[in-house]
Amino acid sequence: MNFLAHLHIADVTNTSAVGAMMGDFIKGDQWRTLPQAQRIGVLLHRQVDSFTDSHPDVIQARQLFKLTRQRYTGILIDMLFDHLLAKQWHKFHPSSLTQFSQQQYRQLTATEPHWPEKMIDVCRRMAETDWLCSYQTPGTIKLALHKIGLRMRVDAPFAASYQEWQQVQAELTMLFDSFYGDLLLQLPALQRNVLQRS
């Protein structure tokens, strides 16, 4: 899952938004040195990622993309699922996406010394250009995929994957709805697993 989904899950579970973000920026056992709330957020992030990667709907969603190398479909699905979550935000949260986003930006730009430098930079840029709300726009997703391909400096055909997405939107939306509904149902169990470890 990408940034918006992880922040939404942190909100649903009343866990740390900072920890939810940090899950993408720390490795291995670095979580053990964090304050407890952030440790829980990181571990929940990892539980959600594991659940996502093995979910049948997500596996099926990856198989919709024939021209995109399979090693990159995880990145692609993360981006597209955040787009679908943003587009259908009213189904999942009582606040508007604008209100939710501004609340998250306030938390994520109140930096602390132990935050990874790269995360601080990403959170600052996220707030400045309102990434979370911009996920509603297909053009933003296309631009983001292009930038990811440039950063990787490899022949990752993200332009082709965008064209494929246009052809499978309806099926991908159904798979997202099924998967995300299941994820929300499973969150209490995932959270219990995290609390036992932290």
22-39 pLDDT, tens per residue?
Answer: 999 998 888 888 889 999
How much is the pLDDT for 67? Answer: 67
How much is the pLDDT for 159? Answer: 67
Contact 68, 160 (CB under 8 A): yes
Name residue 83's amino acid.
H
SS3 96: coil
How much is the pLDDT for 160? Answer: 72
Count of CB atoms situated within 10 Å of the CB of 110: 10
- 167 burial class (0-12, 13-18, 19+ CB within 10 angstroms)? exposed
Token pair, residue 56, equals 């049948």
- Residue 11: name the closest of 120, 100, 136 by CA: 100
CA distances from 42 to 15, 31, 176, 195 (A): 10, 7, 23, 11
53-95 pLDDT, tens per residue?
Answer: 999 999 999 999 886 667 778 888 999 999 999 999 999 999 9
For residue 76, what are the contacts with CB-CB under 8 A and spacing of at least 6? 65, 68, 145, 158, 161, 165
Name residue 124's amino acid.
R
- Residue 57: name the closest of 163, 173, 164 by CA: 173
Contact 63, 38 (CB under 8 A): no
How much is the pLDDT for 87? Answer: 96
Q: Is the pLDDT of residue 17 over 80?
A: yes
Q: Is the pLDDT of residue 188 over 90?
A: yes
Contact 19, 10 (CB under 8 A): yes
- Residue 110: name the closest of 129, 94, 100, 124 by CA: 124
